[in-house]
């Protein structure tokens, strides 16, 4: 007996994914990494700028999603989309290493292993 496929259920699921992607790009803090992240295996996630005087990045973003684009040799390789609240919770729980970075090393941020951003797949 042939299994009946429910295309309306598949369509509904696909549309749900499309809505999530649309919302992600509409309400996201987008970061792009190149070069160094492949050497270190880390994403630099800024939380202050110019000392502790100016909270930035993950500490103050009003966005729902954090998107990290990965480029190698200026070519797009991959991306990860993570809910901001999930990332904040992960940062708090895992206590990532804090380093200077950003333009002229005026920022302070967490070094988050790329594998932690992608999570369990």
Q: Residue 3: inside a domain, yes or no?
A: no
Q: Which residue from 119, 26, 93, 10 is spatially nearest to 64, judged by alpha carbons?
A: 26
Q: Residue 89: inside a domain, yes or no?
A: yes
Q: To which residue do tokens 């502790």 refer?
A: 52
Q: Residue 2: inside a domain, yes or no?
A: no
Tally of domains within the chain: 1
Q: Which residue from 17, 120, 115 is spatially nearest to 68, judged by alpha carbons?
A: 115
Q: Residue 48: inside a domain, yes or no?
A: yes
The model's pTM: 0.80
Q: Residue 7: inside a domain, yes or no?
A: no
Q: Residue 82: inside a domain, yes or no?
A: yes
Query: Would you write out the chain's pLDDT as a tens digit for each of its 121 residues?
Result: 566 666 676 778 777 777 777 766 778 898 988 878 889 999 999 998 886 677 888 999 999 999 999 998 889 999 999 999 999 999 999 999 999 988 888 889 999 999 999 886 5
Integer Cα distance of 46 and 71 in angstroms: 19
Which residue range is the domain that position 87 belongs to? 28-118
Q: Residue 69: inside a domain, yes or no?
A: yes
């Amino acid at each position: 007996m042939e299994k009946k496929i429910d295309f309306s259920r598949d369509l509904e699921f696909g549309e749900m994914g499309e809505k999530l992607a649309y919302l992600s790009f509409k309400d996201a803090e987008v970061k792009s990494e190149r070069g160094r992240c492949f050497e270190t295996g880390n994403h630099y996630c800024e939380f202050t700028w110019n000392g502790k005087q100016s909270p930035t990045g993950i500490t103050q973003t009003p966005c729902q999603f954090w998107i990290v684009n990965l480029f190698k040799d200026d070519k797009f390789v991959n991306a990860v989309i993570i809910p901001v609240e999930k990332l904040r919770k992960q940062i708090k729980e895992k206590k990532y290493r804090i380093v200077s970075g950003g333009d002229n090393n005026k920022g302070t941020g967490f070094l988050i292993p790329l594998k932690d951003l992608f999570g369990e797949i």
